[in-house]
Structure 1
Amino acid sequence: MMHIRETVEAPRRLRSRRARLLAGAMVLGTAGVLSVQTLVPNQFAFADPVKIDVQGPADFSPVVQAVQPAVVSVRVKQAVEPKMMNFDGGNSSGPFGDMPQDHPLQRFFRQFGQQGQQGNGSEQHRKPRQYGMSQGSGFFISEDGYLVTNHHVIDKGTEFTVVMNDGKEYDAKLIGADKRTDLALLKVDADKEFTYVKFADDAPHVGEWVVAIGNPFGLGGSVTAGIVSARGRDIGAGPYDDFIQIDAPVNRGNSGGPAFNMKGEVIGVNAAIFSPSGGNVGIAFAIPASTATNVIGDLKNDGSVVRGWLGVHIQNVTDDIAESIGLDDASGAIVSSVPEDGPAAKAGLEAGDTILSVDGSKVKGPRELSKIIAAYDPDTKVEIAVWRDGKEKEIDVTLGKLQDSNKVAAAELTAPERTSLDDLGLALVTAEEAGLEGPGVIVAEVADEGPAAEKGLRPGDRIVEVAGVKVESPTDVVGALKGAEENGRKAALFRLESNENTRFVALPIKIG
């Protein structure tokens, strides 16, 4: 019997022990703050568990009510240039956007495009100039009417209208724009003080709440919320990519609008979305406040952004390259070529040098080098550390000025010294008068209904050649036109440079 009782009691003791363990586990689940050492003593030495007391806001209305009056819709009137469908593997400009080469509608549009090219090119077939309208977002940064938006919102715009949250409309003028960072500054002149917002001084933390306000699909004053998903994103938009990624729903029309933190400060300017369909998928990108503050300050003061220029062509340092030149890790930017007469060439930098740092700031790669150099003013002397012949070498370089063919400063391009060619609908200034360097003559103004406008000329275009003659001044342009007329020409071929591209345009010879 004793043996039997022990046999029976053993499972009972086991069940009792198991019950006590389960009870302990329930206490642990309820308390949630017992340390690991309580359960497994003398085996771990973890710190006390992290306690999070911060809670998300119950609603965003206090922030929205405070900042929404500063956010506007930006309506832009644009000249529409006729474009042919691209059937050579490039992007289509047709109504369906990008169309694969093997799409069944390609044959239809190819036939339509060929039919559209027929005609004798006479005046009776010339279509009147057409205009389109685009919309984006923006926000006031001062009570006297300065407001920020994206460069791509105002690009090619001829008129700008700001629509307030209460529906009131104001005309705006373009102060300046910077294509490299996709920022632009407009100004509204009105007899009133505008509600405005300020840029945040501190970068946001990943996971921080963010509120986006803008004009998606023309629905002005739309508010969405999310968090900061990541920082320092490079999306291939330009050499100075440093985007904040957010998951607040942002769509077409939000471009140029602000992304706010919970203090009502602007942490970024919404600029791009990642979307296979064109709609929101929870991945949007904003230009950081730190970048916007510097760029907008330059645009306000000078109408353009002045950047330092090193004068080198660079590429990434791969693991193989690092090993071949004796570097411990694949960092820095290797110089692939050094253009003649540039700051780097004058200082003695050579192809094959690997740039490691600038004034002590480490260079991780080409993108970091571009951003570091661009932050300096021209004529600044910097100390560049390079890796050459298996050892580090210091080289002093006096930076030059990075030329920007996309400079936008309407006030400068309408100087009194301009030369008007009324029959062509053009006003011209020298590059020097426009504040630009390099050869050619700058288009200061284009009349809405003139031949130049019909051919797509825009303020800021650089005329480098007319009828085969290189031109340096408006007088040269007039002389080249007269020479072509004397040779029996009815039109003169203009070679133009804009947006780092070259194109030819034939204009009728009509000079006063």
Structure 2
Amino acid sequence: MKLTKNASSNVVSLSAAKTTSKRRSRLLNGTMALAIAGAMVAPLTLVPATSQAEPVRVDVPAMPNFVGLVEAVQPTVVSVRVRSEVKEHDRLSGIPPMFRDMPDDHPLQKFFREFGGKGGEQKKKAPPRKRFDQSQGSGFFISDDGYVVTNEHVVEGGTEFTIVTSEGDELEATLVGADKRSDLALLKVESEEKFEYVAFADDAPLVGSWVVAVGNPFGLGGTVTAGIVSARGRDIGAGIYDDFLQIDASVNRGNSGGPAFNVKGEVVGVNSAIVSPSGGNVGIAFAIPAQTAKKIISDLKEDGAVTRGWLGVQIQPVTKDIAESLGLDNENGTLVAEVQGDTPAKAAGFQAGDIILKVDGEEVNGPRELAKVIAGYSPNTEVEIEYWRDGEINTATVKLGTIPEEKQQASAKQSEDANTALVDSLGLELATAEEAGVDEEGVVVTKVDPDGPAADKGLAPGAIITEVANVKVQSPADVAEQVEKAREQGRKAVLLRVTRGENTLFVAIPLEKGDE
């Protein structure tokens, strides 16, 4: 099974047609039809059981009719054609890989030069020609003056953009801005025509509520599917800001950037990705929630880019083991694994091991929630952060910065012949940084027992333990000492602060019972 961003490379030519005045009244007529259809459907009724021995029964209303809804919203949904320049291949691109290392005087070199090898002499004399690729996705109007929302991965790398309306009109568009982290983009059509458009929903849809997806699957254009919201708040590994709606309406390649509507004709999500072993629909699709899209699109419209607040910490969840190792009663909050240098968090005095509980009085439980809250502020905004440290609740006022570009991660070095010491209770073999040939402070993991508790928590050779139970360590003996102290204190787990390349995190490893 793989996760696929569902942009299509299929190209479809739609017949041109003039927009008629009937399209103007379609939105109103569709809304009225939907209201009438809704009045004919009985509301959901819970039937109480007559006794505790009987199960709860539900009277399910008849299947809704989406004809009026579709007639109202379909003119607002468009196909998005993207033309992008293809970079020239290198001089060996016309030669099969198995022949690329042959000597220049080899007879086959002459064959490739004379019969189409792009690295040949004849090809080198011809002036290079630009090559273009064309892909296609979906989008929708959000204003009558021609602003169109789609996915960032639909327009990525594009140089020319064409909007194809539901009636076949082809309109040139320009890219206003795109945001890779949220996978959203905004296009603009310059036209004197007033376009029909839709609005984002103010409220998030409930799980189980109906959704209608409209888009351009496989380049077919104008396709409508229906389903329900299967789940909310999905993290699909696309980024730290993941907060997707999961829907089971049929969504395929080419639906990317298209809207998912509620029964009121409001956009509840922007279709963005699917889970599929084959690239086709299997009933699991993901949409960017309207609440997220509204703010991102507003920023793109105003500035052409999205600026997010930045704290400057590496963070991780507070697990049950970590809470136990710190003596906490619950798993609330977000653990600071590392405070990066020259950052707002550093200036405010935050330290590794702090647990962030609230931002401006609002609870933030987990890295994803904290990241979303901080990113929702503009840079240079001052926020009040409540955090836990050494058994006490503290507050700090932080002036947020601007999120920097992501850095490439490096791997820690390890010496094969390092002298090691065994910490039996953790299932680790350790060495000093000097013994392992590592120019870092801390104790290097040189071997992990695959059946030990450290392996269960994901520790691997090359990781560097810098602290144990909030105490800095420089040798395997230091690690063993702090592990023994944690055991004597009755801890069920010991907390290690570990670095892996440029990443730092806390790992709580369960302790085995000592000899009695």
What range describes the TM-score normalised by the shorter chain of this pair?
0.5 to 0.7
The one-letter code matched in structure 2 to 1:181 is S
Q: Matches of 2:219 and 2:404 in 1, distance apart?
A: 36
Is the 1:119–1:125 Cα contact (8 Å) retained in structure 2?
no
| 1:297 corresponds to | 298
Q: 2:83 aligns with which of 61, 69, 77?
A: 77
Q: Out of 251-260 and 311-320, give the one that drifted further.
A: 311-320
Per-residue CA deviation, residues 437-470 of structure 1 (Å, 9 max, x unaligned), is xxxxxxxxxxxxxxxxxxxxxxxxxxxxxxxxxx
Select which of 63, 71, 77 maps to 1:56: 63
1:238 Cα deviation from its structure 2 partner: 1.3
Letter in 2 for 1:221: G
Distance 2:180 2:341 in 1: 26
Q: Tell me the distance in 2 between the aligned counterparts of 1:316 and 1:333.
A: 5
Residue identity matched to 2:82: V
Aligned to 1:358: 359
Give TM-score scaled by structure 2 length.
0.62
1:333 positional shift: 2.1
CA distance in 1 between partners of 2:48 and 2:187 (Å): 58
Which amino acid in the other structure matches residue 231 of structure 2? A
- Give 1:163's aligned residue: 164
- Match runs of 1:109-508 below 5 Å: 110-111=97-98, 124=125, 127-403=128-404
Cα distance in 1 between the residues matched to 2:234 and 2:127: 46
Q: Write the deviation string for residues 313-371 of structure 1: whole angstroms up to 9, x where unpaired.
A: 11222222221112222332222222222111111001221212212222221111100
Distance 1:34 1:379 in 2: 54
Report the 3-state secondary structure (helix = DSSP H, G, I; strand = E; otherwise coil) of the residue aligned with 1:298. Answer: helix
Cα gap change, 1:33/1:141 in structure 2, threshold over 3 Å: closer, same or farther?
closer
For 1:210, give the aligned amino acid.
V
Q: Distance in 2 between matches of 1:306 and 1:332?
A: 25
Q: Note closer, same or farther for the CA distance 1:120–1:241 as it changes in structure 2 (3 Å cut).
A: farther
One-letter code aligned to 1:195 = E
2:47–2:57 CA contact under 8 A, matched in 1: no
Query: 1:264-293, CA deviations, whole angstroms, 9 ceiling, x for partnerless residues?
Result: 111100000000111000000000010111
Aligned counterparts of 1:112 and 1:330: Cα–Cα separation in 2: 59
How many residues end up aligned between the 2 structures? 344
| Cα distance in 1 for residues equivalent to 2:68 and 2:283 | 24
TM, length-normalised to structure 1:
0.63
Matches of 2:363 and 2:100, distance apart in 1: 53
Which runs of 5 or more structure 1 residues have no equivalent in the other structure?
Answer: 1-31, 38-43, 85-93, 95-107, 406-512
Partner SS state of residue 274, structure 1: strand
> What secondary structure does 2:276 align onto?
coil
C-alpha distance 161-345 of structure 1, shift in aligned 2 (>3 A): same
Shift of 1:262: 0.8
Alpha-carbon shift at residue 125 of structure 1 (Å): 8.0
Shift of 1:55: 3.5
Q: Bigger shift: 299-308 or 154-163?
A: 299-308
Paired position in structure 2 for 1:509: none
CA separation in 2, counterparts of 1:245 and 1:329? 29
For the Cα contact (< 8 Å) 2:334–2:355, is it kept in 1?
yes
Residue 204 of structure 1 deviates from its aligned partner by: 0.6
- Aligned in 2, Cα 1:52/1:347: closer, same or farther, shift over 3 Å? same
When residues 263 and 122 of structure 1 are mapped into structure 2, their CA distance, relative to the original with a 3 A threshold, is same
Q: Secondary structure at the match of 2:393?
A: strand
Q: One-letter code of the match for 1:73? A: S
Residue 34 of structure 1 deviates from its aligned partner by: 8.5
Is the alpha carbon distance of 1:281 and 1:319 closer, same or farther for their aligned partners in structure 2, counting shifts above 3 Å?
same
- CA deviation after TM superposition for structure 1 residue 390, in Å: 2.5
Higher relative contact order at CA 8 Å, sep ≥6: structure 1 or structure 2? 2
Over alpha carbons, which structure has the higher Rg? 1
Q: 1:149 to 1:121 in 2, by over 3 A?
A: farther
Residues 33 and 272 (structure 1 numbering): CA distance in 2 closer, same or farther, change over 3 Å?
closer
Are the counterparts in 1 of residues 83 and 160 from structure 2 also a CA contact under 8 Å? Answer: yes
Q: 1:387 to 1:134 in 2, by over 3 A?
A: same
Asked if the contact 2:84/2:159 (under 8 Å) is kept, the reply is yes
1:205-239 per-position Cα deviation (integer Å, ceiling 9, x unaligned):
11111110101110000111111111100001111
Letter in 1 for 2:365: K
Compute the displacement of 1:56 (Å).
Answer: 2.8
Tell me the CA shift for residue 35 of structure 1. Answer: 4.2
Contact in 1 for aligned 2:249/2:285 (Cα 8 Å): yes
Query: Any idea what the Cα deviations from partners look like across 1:91-121, whole Å, max 9, x if unmatched?
Result: xxx9xxxxxxxxxxxxx97527768897799
Q: Specify whether residues 354 and 130 from structure 1 end up closer, same or farther in structure 2 by C-alpha distance, changes over 3 A only.
A: same
Question: How much has 1:126 moved relative to structure 2?
Answer: 7.6
SS in 2 for 1:157: coil
Show CA shifts across 1:46-69 (max 9, x none): 9x9565464331x21110000000
CA distance in 2, matches of 1:34, 1:395: 51
Aligned to 2:385, the other structure's residue is in SS state strand
Q: Distance in 1 between matches of 2:251 and 2:100?
A: 35
Instruction: Please report how far the alpha carbon of residue 129 of structure 1 lies from its aligned counterpart in structure 2 after TM superposition.
Output: 2.8
Task: Measure the CA separation in 2 of the matches of 1:33 and 1:384.
Answer: 47
Q: Which amino acid aligns with 1:56?
A: M
Q: Deviations over 1:163-201 (max 9, x none)?
A: 011111000001111111000000001121111111111
Q: State whether residues 72 and 162 of structure 1, in contact with CA within 8 Å, keep that contact through their aligned partners in structure 2.
A: yes
Identity %: 60
Aligned with 1:201: secondary structure? coil
- Preserved contact between residue 211 and residue 260 of structure 1 (Cα < 8 Å): yes
Secondary structure at the residue paired with 2:197? coil
The aligned counterpart of 2:114 is none
Distance (Å, rounded) in 1 between the aligned partners of 2:351 and 2:122 = 53
